């Protein structure tokens, strides 16, 4: 946890630090996680912010952390062939879709 000390600013309690470490270990150990220093630090910073604003439940932090990691720190993301909404068959002018279209 020492490597993330600069992100915490010394303002987390020992219990919060333990929770953060547990969540980070669980998320960063996933095989799809792009486990480099930038990814680890960015995820630690985001989770630290959540803890500082009062979200301390490890299960909630883990759920949010996994969602962020899958979206932003996925080593396989560049390998996937995700089409833009306009490229999906049957959808035209995707940028002009409105909520009213689905009511």
Q: For the segment 68-102, what is each residue's pLDDT rounded down to a tens digit?
A: 999 998 887 655 544 444 444 444 444 444 444 44
Q: For the chain, how many structural domains are there in total?
A: 1
Q: Evaluate whether residue 99 is within a structural domain.
A: no
Burial-class residue 11 by CB neighbours within 10 Å (0-12, 13-18, 19+). exposed
Please write the tens of the pLDDT for every residue from 13-42. Answer: 999 999 999 999 999 999 999 888 999 999
Residue 82 DSSP symbol: P
Range of 18's domain? 2-79
Tell me whether residue 67 is in a domain.
yes
Separation between Cα atoms, residue 89 and residue 3, nearest integer Å? 47
Q: For residue 98, tell me if it sits in a domain.
A: no
Residue 73 inside a domain? The answer is yes
Is 87 among the domain residues? no
Q: How confident is the model at residue 10 (pLDDT cuts 50, 70, 90)?
A: low
* pLDDT at res. 11: 82
pLDDT exceeds cutoff 90 at 7: no
């Amino acid at each position: 946890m020492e490597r993330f000390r600069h992100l915490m600013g010394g303002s987390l309690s020992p219990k919060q630090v333990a929770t953060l470490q547990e969540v980070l270990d669980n998320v960063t150990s996933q095989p799809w996680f792009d486990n480099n220093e930038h990814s680890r630090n960015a995820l630690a910073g985001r989770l630290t912010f959540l803890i500082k604003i009062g979200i301390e439940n490890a299960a909630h932090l883990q759920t949010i952390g996994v969602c962020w990691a899958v979206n932003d720190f996925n080593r396989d993301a560049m390998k996937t062939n995700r089409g833009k909404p306009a490229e999906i068959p049957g959808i035209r002018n995707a940028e002009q879709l409105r909520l009213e279209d689905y009511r």
